[in-house]
Chains A and B, each alone.
Chain A
Amino acid sequence: MLETLSLMGQGFIHALSPMNLLFAAAGTAIGIVIGCLPGLSAAMGVALLLPMTFAMPAETGLIVLGGIYCGAIFGGSIAAILIHTPGTPASAATAIEGYQLTLRGKAGKALFVSCYSSFWGGLLSCISLYFFAPLLAQLAMKFGSPEYFWLSIFGLTIIAGVSSDSMLKGLMSGAFGLLLSTIGMDPIEGAKRFMFGQSALYEGINTTCALIGLFSMSQVLILAEKKIKERAKAAKFTDKLAITREEAKLLTPTILRSWIIGNLIGILPGAGASIACFMGYNTAHQFAKHPEQFGKGSIEGVAGSEAANNAVTGGSLIPMLTLGIPGESVTAVLMGGLIIQGLQPGPELFTRYAPMTYTFFAGFVLVQFLMLGIGLLGCRGFAQISRLSDAILIPSVTVLCVVGSFAIHKNFLDVVIMMIFGIIGYMVRKFGLNAAAIVLALILGPIGEKGLRRSLVLSGGNPAILFSTPLCWVLIGLCVFGVLSPIFMSRMEKKSVEKAGGEDISAETAD
Chain B
Amino acid sequence: MKKTDIGVVGFMYGVCILFYVLSLDLKPEAQTYPHFIMLVLAILTTMYVVQMIFQAKRNGVTSGLEAFEGFLPKQFFVVLAMIIGYLVLMYLVGFYISTVLLMVACLLFLRVPTWQIIISTLAILGLIYGAFTLFLGVKLPVGLLFK
Interface residues of A (CB under 8 A from B): 51-52, 54-55, 166, 168-169, 171-172, 175-176, 178-179, 182, 186, 188-189, 191, 193-194, 220-221, 224-228, 389, 391-392, 394-396, 398-400, 402-403, 406-407, 410, 412, 415-416, 419, 430-433, 449, 452-453
Bound together, the chains give a CA A412 to CA B87 distance in angstroms of 9
B60 contacts partner chain A, Cβ-Cβ < 8 Å = no
B15 / chain A contacts, CB cutoff of 8 Å: 176, 179
Of the A-B pairs whose beta carbons lie under 8 Å apart in the complex, a sample of 14, sorted by A's number, is: A55-B136, A168-B51, A178-B37, A193-B30, A224-B79, A227-B75, A392-B112, A395-B82, A395-B103, A399-B102, A399-B128, A406-B138, A412-B141, A415-B90
Indicate if the CB atoms of B48 and A166 lie closer than 8 Å: yes
Q: Return the contact of A396 from the options B34, B48, B75, B120 (Cβ within 8 A).
A: B120
> Given the complex of chains A and B, what is the CA–CA distance between A415 and B136 in angstroms?
18
Complex Cα gap A170–B107 (Å):
36
Complex contacts, B137 vs chain A, CB 8 Å: 55
B98 → A minimal CB distance (Å):
9
Asked if A407 and B33 sit within 8 Å, CB to CB, the answer is no
A445 to chain B: closest residue by CB: B37
Could you tell me if A416 and B72 are in contact, using CB atoms closer than 8 angstroms? Answer: no
Q: How far is the CB of A112 from chain B (nearest CB, A)?
A: 30
C-alpha gap A409/B8 in the complex (Å): 33
Q: Which residue of A lies closest to B22 (CB)?
A: A194
Q: Contact check, A226 vs B83: say whether CB atoms are below 8 A apart.
A: no
A227 with B67: CB separation less than 8 A: no
Which of B27, B68, B80, B95 lies in contact with A403, CB distance below 8 A? B95
CA distance A176 to B131 in the complex (A): 35
Residues of B within 8 A of A (CB): 4-5, 7-8, 12, 15-16, 19, 22-23, 26-27, 29-30, 33-34, 37-38, 40-41, 44-45, 47-48, 51, 64, 67-68, 70-72, 75-76, 79-80, 82-84, 86-87, 90-91, 95, 99, 102-103, 106-107, 110-112, 116, 120, 124, 128, 131-132, 135-141
Partner of B87, one of A394, A402, A433: A402
Contacts of A175 in B (CB 8 A): 37, 40-41, 44
How far is it, in angstroms, between the C-alpha of A51 and the C-alpha of B135 when the chains are bound?
A: 12
Query: How many Å lie between the Cα of A172 and that of B8 in the bound state?
Result: 10
User: Once bound together, how far apart are the Cα atoms of A312 and B34, in whole Å?
Assistant: 36
Q: A55-B136, A179-B19 are in contact. Are A398 and B102 (CB under 8 A)?
A: yes
Given contacts A176-B41, A406-B138, contact A193 B26 (CB under 8 A): yes
CB neighbours (8 Å) of B110 from chain A are 228, 391, 394
Separation of A400 and B132 alpha carbons in the complex (Å): 10
Asked whether, in the complex, the Cβ of A186 is within 8 Å of the Cβ of B30, the reply is yes
Known: A395-B106, A396-B124, A449-B33. A176 touches B12 (CB 8 A): yes
Chain B minimum-CB-distance residue to A453: B33
Residues on A with C-beta less than 8 A from B135 are: 52, 55
Give the distance in Å from the alpha carbon of A486 to the alpha carbon of B44 in the complex: 17
Contact between chains at A410 and B80 (CB < 8 Å): no
Known: A166-B48, A224-B79. A172 touches B12 (CB 8 A): yes
Interface contacts beyond A168-B51, A176-B41, A406-B138: sample of 15 additional A-B pairs, CB < 8 Å, sorted by A: A54-B136, A168-B44, A172-B41, A175-B40, A179-B41, A189-B27, A193-B30, A224-B75, A391-B107, A392-B107, A392-B112, A394-B79, A394-B110, A399-B128, A430-B68
Q: Would A403 and B140 be within 8 Å (CB), given that A182-B37, A395-B106, A430-B67 are in contact?
A: yes
Contact indicator A225/B4 (Cβ below 8 Å): no
A410 to B132, CA, bound (A): 11
> Given A169-B48, A171-B44, A52 and B136 touching (CB < 8 A)?
yes
Query: CA A182 – CA B107 in complex, angstroms?
Result: 40
Task: Given A168-B44, A403-B95, A419-B87, decide whether A182 and B132 contact each other with a Cβ distance below 8 A.
Answer: no
Smallest CB separation, B62 vs chain A (Å): 13
B8 near A431 with CB under 8 A, answer: yes
Question: Do A168 and B48 form a contact, CB below 8 Å, given A392-B120, A407-B138?
Answer: yes
How far, in whole Å, are A224 and B72 apart by their CA atoms in the complex? 8
Minimum Cβ distance to chain B for residue A27 (Å): 13
A394 neighbours in B (Cβ, 8 Å)? 79, 106, 110
**Contact A406 B112, CB 8 Å, known A182-B33, A395-B106:** no
Q: How far does the Cβ of A483 sit from chain B's closest Cβ, in whole Å?
A: 12
Partner of A226, one of B44, B70, B102: B70
Q: Chain A: which residue is nearest B90 at the CB level?
A: A402
Shortest CB–CB separation between residue A108 and chain B, in angstroms?
29
Chain A residues within an 8 Å CB radius of B95: 403, 406
A366 to B137, CA, bound (A): 28
Shortest Cβ distance from A53 into B: residue: B136
**Selected contact of A193 from candidates B7, B34, B71, B75, CB within 8 Å:** B34
The chain B residue sitting closest to A190, CB to CB, is: B30
Instruction: Give the CA-CA distance A153 to B136 in the complex, in Å.
Output: 37
Q: Which chain B positions have C-beta within 8 A of A399?
A: 99, 102-103, 124, 128
Residues in B with CB closer than 8 Å to A452 are 33
